[in-house]
Amino acid sequence: MFNLYIHWDPRPEIFTIPGIDWPVRWYGLMWALAFIASHFIMNRVYKAEGRTDKQLDTLTLYIIIGTVLGARIGHCLFYGPWFDETLMNGEVIEGY
């Protein structure tokens, strides 16, 4: 009942980086925080298992690259016109 009184229309941008006029959005910030938090959690796991920091850094890099590429390919396959705006376009910021 109370959710009818809430006007849920948050702004997608947190702020704009001055000089280059590039907006920082909530979605991107949450992804960055998730990667940072997972790196710290895995750091504790790797220390307990006796693994090196180099292995953790390599794993984190592979996770970030795999997530970005997988999200991009998934977006193109499920939401974007496949033949007009392909993955090879490289316009990650534009959405297509």
pLDDT surpassing 60 at residue 41: yes
Q: What is the pLDDT of residues 45-72, one digit of tens each?
A: 999 999 999 999 999 999 999 998 998 8
Phi/psi-derived region of residue 11, left when phi > 0, alpha when psi is between -120 and 50, beta in every other case:
beta
Q: Where are the domains of the chain?
A: 26-89
pTM beyond 0.95: the answer is no
Q: What is the pLDDT of residues 2-40, one digit of tens each?
A: 666 777 777 889 889 889 888 899 888 999 999 999 999
Contact 10, 20 (CB under 8 A): no
